[in-house]
Amino acid sequence: MSRLPVTKTPKPYVGGAFIRSESGRTYPLADAAGAFFAHLPQCTRKDLRNAVEAAAKAGPGWAKRTAYNRGQILYRLAEMLEARAEEMTAVLVRFGVARAAAAREVAAAVDRLVYYAGWADKYEQVLGNVNPVASPHFNFTVTEPMGIVGVVAPDAPSLLGLVSLVAPVIVSGNTVVALASEATPYPAVLLGEMLATSDLPGGVVNLLTGFRRELVPTFATHAHLRALNAAVGPEDAKALRLGAADSIKRVRIAGAAKPADWLSAREESVYAIRDFLEFKTTWHPIGA
Amino acid sequence: MLAKSSSAALRRLFDAVGPVDAVGIEERVAKYGTRSIKKNAKLWGLKTAVSMVDLTTLEGKDTPGKVASLCRKAVQPHDADLDVPRVAAVCVYPAMVRHARRALGTGTGVKIASVATAFPSGQAPLETRLAEVRAAVADGADEIDMVINRGAFLAGEFAAVQDEIAAVVEACGPAALKVILEVSELETYDNIRAASFLALQVIRPGDFIKTSTGKTSLNATLGNNQVMIDAIRDHYLDTGIAIGMKPAGGIRTAKQALTFLVAVKETLGDAWLTNTRYRFGASSLLNDLLRQLAKEKSGAYQAPYYFSEAAESY
Is B210 among the catalytic positions?
Answer: yes
A218: part of which helix (H) or strand (E)? helix A212-221
- Residue A146 touches partner B, C-beta closer than 8 Å: no
pLDDT bucket at A61, cuts 50 / 70 / 90: very high
The domain in which residue A262 lies consists of: 13-285
Distance of CA A125 to the CA centre of its chain: 24
- Give the phi and the psi of residue B63 in degrees, each rounded to 5: -125, 160
Identify whether A2 is part of a domain: no
Identify whether A5 is part of a domain: no
Q: Which of B145, B190, B230, B288 is catalytic?
A: B145
Give contacts of A 269-288 with B, CB under 8 A.
none
pLDDT bucket at A279, cuts 50 / 70 / 90: very high
pLDDT at B215: 87
Is B230 among the catalytic positions?
Answer: no
- Residue B274 touches partner A, C-beta closer than 8 Å: no
The domain in which residue B150 lies consists of: 2-306
Above 60 in pLDDT, residue B131? Answer: yes
Identify whether B200 is part of a domain: yes
Identify whether A191 is part of a domain: yes
CA distance linking residue B141 with residue A251, whole number of Å: 52
Q: Could B301 and A56 be called an inter-chain contact, meaning their C-beta atoms sit closer than 8 Å?
A: no
Is B145 among the catalytic positions?
Answer: yes
Burial A142-155 (b: 16+ CB within 10 A, else e): ebebbbbbbbbbbb
Give contacts of A 28-57 with B, CB under 8 A.
45, 49, 52, 56
Pairing state between β A36-41 and A26-30: antiparallel
Q: What is the mean pLDDT of chain B?
A: 91
Number of domains within chain A: 1
Q: Could A221 and B300 be called an inter-chain contact, meaning their C-beta atoms sit closer than 8 Å?
A: yes
CA distance linking residue A194 with residue B291, whole number of Å: 35
pLDDT bucket at B314, cuts 50 / 70 / 90: very low
- Tens of pLDDT, residue by residue over A145-199, are 999 999 999 998 999 999 999 999 999 999 999 999 999 999 999 999 999 999 9
Give contacts of A 212-231 with B, CB under 8 A.
218, 221-224
Above 80 in pLDDT, residue B187? Answer: yes
pLDDT bucket at B283, cuts 50 / 70 / 90: confident
Identify whether B13 is part of a domain: yes
Q: Which of B73, B111, B210, B288 is catalytic?
A: B210
pLDDT bucket at A12, cuts 50 / 70 / 90: very high
pLDDT at B5: 58
Least confident of A90-94, A111-115, B64-68, B216-220: B216-220
Q: How many CA atoms lie within 13 A of B298 on its CB side?
A: 19
pLDDT bucket at A253, cuts 50 / 70 / 90: very high
DSSP structural state of residue A157? S
Pairing state between β A225-230 and A148-152: parallel
- Tens of pLDDT, residue by residue over A18-29, are 999 999 999 999
pLDDT at B7: 65
% pLDDT > 90, chain A: 93
Q: Could A223 and B302 be called an inter-chain contact, meaning their C-beta atoms sit closer than 8 Å?
A: yes
Identify whether A245 is part of a domain: yes
- Residue B304 touches partner A, C-beta closer than 8 Å: yes
- Tens of pLDDT, residue by residue over A47-56, are 999 999 999 9
* Neighbouring residues of B98: CB distance < 8 A, sequence distance ≥ 6: B139, B140
Set of chain B residues whose Cβ sits within 8 Å of the Cβ of A222: 300-301
Q: Could B302 and A218 be called an inter-chain contact, meaning their C-beta atoms sit closer than 8 Å?
A: no
Contacts across the A-B interface (CB distance below 8 Å) = 23
pLDDT at B276: 96
Q: Which of B54, B111, B246, B288 is catalytic?
A: B246
Cis bond leading into A217, ω under 30°?
Answer: no
pLDDT at B81: 84
Q: Could A223 and B306 be called an inter-chain contact, meaning their C-beta atoms sit closer than 8 Å?
A: yes
Q: Tell me the CA end-to-end span of chain B in Å, nearest whole number.
A: 41
pLDDT at B1: 38
Q: Are B307 and B78 in contact (CB under 8 A)?
A: yes
Set of chain B residues whose Cβ sits within 8 Å of the Cβ of A221: 299-301
The stretches of chain B forming alpha helices (DSSP H) are 2-17, 22-32, 39-51, 64-75, 97-104, 126-139, 150-154, 158-172, 189-200, 222-239, 254-267, 284-298
Q: Are A114 and A162 in contact (CB under 8 A)?
A: no
Identify whether B270 is part of a domain: yes
Set of chain B residues whose Cβ sits within 8 Å of the Cβ of A218: 301
Above 50 in pLDDT, residue A78? Answer: yes
DSSP structural state of residue A256? S
Set of chain A residues whose Cβ sits within 8 Å of the Cβ of B299: 221
Q: Which among B300, B304, B306 has CB closest to A246?
A: B300
Mean pLDDT: which of A83-92, B12-21, B75-84 is highest?
A: A83-92
Identify whether B300 is part of a domain: yes
Identify whether A8 is part of a domain: no
CA distance linking residue A110 with residue A108, whole number of Å: 5
- The vertex-A196 CA angle with A192 and A202, nearest 5°, equals 100
Set of chain A residues whose Cβ sits within 8 Å of the Cβ of B306: 223
pLDDT at A287: 76
pLDDT at B105: 87
Q: How many CB atoms lie within 10 A of CB B48?
A: 18
- Residue B240 touches partner A, C-beta closer than 8 Å: no
Q: Could A222 and B299 be called an inter-chain contact, meaning their C-beta atoms sit closer than 8 Å?
A: no
Identify whether A54 is part of a domain: yes
Q: Could A223 and B304 be called an inter-chain contact, meaning their C-beta atoms sit closer than 8 Å?
A: no
Write the CATH number for A192.
Answer: 3.40.605.10
Write the CATH number for B213.
Answer: 3.20.20.70
Number of domains within chain B: 1
Q: Could A223 and B299 be called an inter-chain contact, meaning their C-beta atoms sit closer than 8 Å?
A: no
